[in-house]
């Protein structure tokens, strides 16, 4: 949300803080190290106790309620952690743009927008990476699309520190002298990014360990680009930028499907909208919107399928494709209604 629109060069934006920020990467590594030490210590203690018992040696006395104390401590730590994450999620950052500099309050850090690098925020939008000495700040542009000519200098990131809506994200870039990094304007080509669907891991054979590991390792990496022009669709390889197929929109068939899955615990049935594109010269591409939850749904009847889609994409890219194939009237978006 923009809270200041002065006639000068100063502009402020209110960005939503992420509960799991880029600092979580470092925190996760520390937690993994602590967990490893505790686990090794516990296993070592258990092995020592078993060895002493087998030898008939005297073992140290363990109080009767030690296990309950440990469980109580773990529950207390979990509760404190949950409250802390809720508090973080409710916090805001005030971003002040002055020329090509960005000040982040309340952190008091100043970054250069001229040196910032743009990258992909998989399945959500884009991310602006900023560095100032030992400080780092990553700002996400939620539901922000890119074009084939958009320059991406940073590696994809799953975590950001804060997020702005696409329109305010582009306004911040424009004020900071980075207008060239804006999203596609009406009439310009849009690049939709397909990522692997994590749900396909559950349908893989339990003994296909290598295949499962490859899927896990590729979850944050783009698998295909679909470039959407006024009347043409191109499917592009992300690594080589080679065009796998190109066809007029009129020659491509878009089929709405509904992926049905049943929750094991509650036995409830969930249906997720899926779209299949049949492009001449390629096997059909089946994809859904990542992180959609109950947001999107087909308003009409769609054929049910039991297998999850091979790919997922962001909400912005989902809307781009269903509108290009005149399916917007068949898709309900709960976020836009609200």
Question: DSSP string covering 119-164, please?
Answer: EEETTTEEEEEEEETTEEEEEEEET--B-TT----S---S--SEEE
Q: Which of 221, 27, 219, 21 is nearest to 138 (CA)?
A: 21
Q: Tokens 């470092």 sit at which residue?
A: 26
Interval 143-147 mean pLDDT? 94
Degrees to nearest 5, angle at CA 161 with 26 and 22:
15
- Is pLDDT of 28 > 60? no
Q: What is the pLDDT of residues 85-120, one digit of tens each?
A: 676 667 899 999 999 999 999 989 999 999 999 999
Position 288 confidence tier, pLDDT thresholds 50, 70, 90: very high
- Is pLDDT of 34 > 70? no
CB proximity list for 85: less than 8 A, separation 6 or greater: 19, 20
Report the C-alpha gap between 274 and 305 in whole angstroms: 9
Interval 154-183 mean pLDDT? 92
Q: Give the pLDDT confidence score for residue 6 in this predicted structure.
A: 44
Degrees to nearest 5, angle at CA 149 with 143 and 153:
75
Name the average pLDDT for the chain.
Answer: 83
Q: Give the pLDDT confidence score for residue 24 in this predicted structure.
A: 64
Pairing of strands 190-196, 162-165: unpaired
Q: What is the pLDDT of residues 76-94, one digit of tens each?
A: 877 876 776 676 667 899 9
Interval 260-288 mean pLDDT? 87
Q: Give the pLDDT confidence score for residue 62 in this predicted structure.
A: 64
Sign of CA dihedral 48, 53, 59, 64: positive
Position 331 confidence tier, pLDDT thresholds 50, 70, 90: confident
Q: What is the pLDDT of residues 296-320, one digit of tens each?
A: 888 878 899 989 999 999 999 999 9
Using a pLDDT cut of 90, give the percent of the chain over it. 50
Q: Give the pLDDT confidence score for residue 204 in this predicted structure.
A: 63
More confident residue, 132 or 31: 132
- Is pLDDT of 247 > 70? yes
Q: Which of 160, 114, 120 is nearest to 22 (CA)?
A: 160
- HSE, side-chain direction, 13 A CA sphere, residue 136: 13
- Is pLDDT of 267 > 80? no
Q: Give the pLDDT confidence score for residue 92 in this predicted structure.
A: 92
């Amino acid at each position: 949300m923009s809270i200041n629109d002065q006639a000068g060069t100063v502009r402020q934006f209110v960005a939503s803080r992420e509960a799991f920020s880029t600092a979580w990467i470092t925190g996760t590594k520390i937690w993994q190290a602590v967990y490893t030490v505790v686990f090794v210590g516990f296993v070592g203690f258990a092995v020592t106790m078993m060895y002493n018992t087998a030898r008939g040696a005297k073992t140290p006395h363990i109080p009767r309620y030690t296990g309950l104390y440990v469980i109580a401590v773990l529950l207390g730590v979990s509760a404190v952690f949950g409250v802390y994450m809720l508090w973080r999620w409710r916090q805001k950052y005030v971003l002040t743009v002055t020329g090509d500099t960005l000040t982040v309050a309340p952190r008091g850090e100043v970054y250069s927008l001229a040196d910032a690098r743009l990258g992909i925020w998989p399945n959500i939008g884009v991310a602006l990476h900023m560095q100032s000495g030992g400080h780092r700040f990553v700002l996400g542009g939620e539901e922000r699309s890119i074009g084939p000519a958009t320059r991406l200098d940073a590696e994809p990131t799953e975590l950001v520190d804060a997020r702005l809506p696409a329109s305010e994200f582009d306004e911040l870039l424009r004020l900071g002298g980075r207008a060239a990094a804006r999203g596609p304007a009406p009439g310009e080509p849009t690049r939709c990014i397909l990522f692997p669907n994590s749900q396909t891991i559950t349908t893989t054979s339990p003994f296909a360990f290598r295949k499962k590991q490859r899927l896990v390792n590729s979850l944050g990496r783009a698998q295909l680009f679909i470039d959407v022009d006024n009347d043409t669709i191109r499917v592009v390889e992300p690594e080589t930028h080679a065009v796998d197929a190109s066809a007029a929109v009129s020659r491509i068939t878009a089929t709405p499907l509904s992926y049905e899955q049943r929750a094991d615990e509650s036995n409830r049935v969930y249906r997720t909208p899926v779209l299949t594109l049949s492009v001449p010269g390629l096997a059909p591409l089946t994809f859904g919107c990542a992180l959609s939850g109950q947001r999107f749904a087909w308003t009409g009847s769609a054929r049910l399928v039991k297998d999850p889609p091979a790919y997922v994409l962001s909400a912005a890219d989902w809307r781009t494709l269903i509108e290009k194939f005149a399916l917007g009237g068949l898709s309900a978006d709960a976020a836009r209604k609200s």
